[in-house]
Amino acid sequence: PGAHGRRTVEESTARVARALGVPDADVLACATGKIGVPVPHDVLLPGVDRALKALDPRGFGKTAHAILTTDAF
């Protein structure tokens, strides 16, 4: 990614790591959506915060649905 994308990835993974109490290196960034279209920093980070607040040990099904791809084959 470019400098802005790299900063967004580093900030988002650091937020998740802090919330989970793990090292930053243990959090991997992944994305769904259109390939090559960056997610704006000011959209992604609040979304990370909302996702962290919504964590639920029984939420696997919702998580699996949330990461479905939009790619057409």
Counting Cα atoms < 13 Å in the Cβ hemisphere of 28 gives 2
Q: At what angle do helices 3-20 and 41-53 cross, to 10 degrees?
A: 10
Cα–Cα distance, 27 to 69 (Å, whole number): 20
pLDDT tens digits, one per residue of 9-47: 999 999 999 999 999 999 999 876 677 788 888 999 999
Q: What distances in angstroms separate CA 64 from CA 12, 50, 57, 67, one per listed residue?
A: 20, 17, 13, 6
Whether the pTM exceeds 0.85: the reply is no
Q: What is the pLDDT of residue 20?
A: 94
pLDDT tens digits, one per residue of 51-60: 999 899 898 8
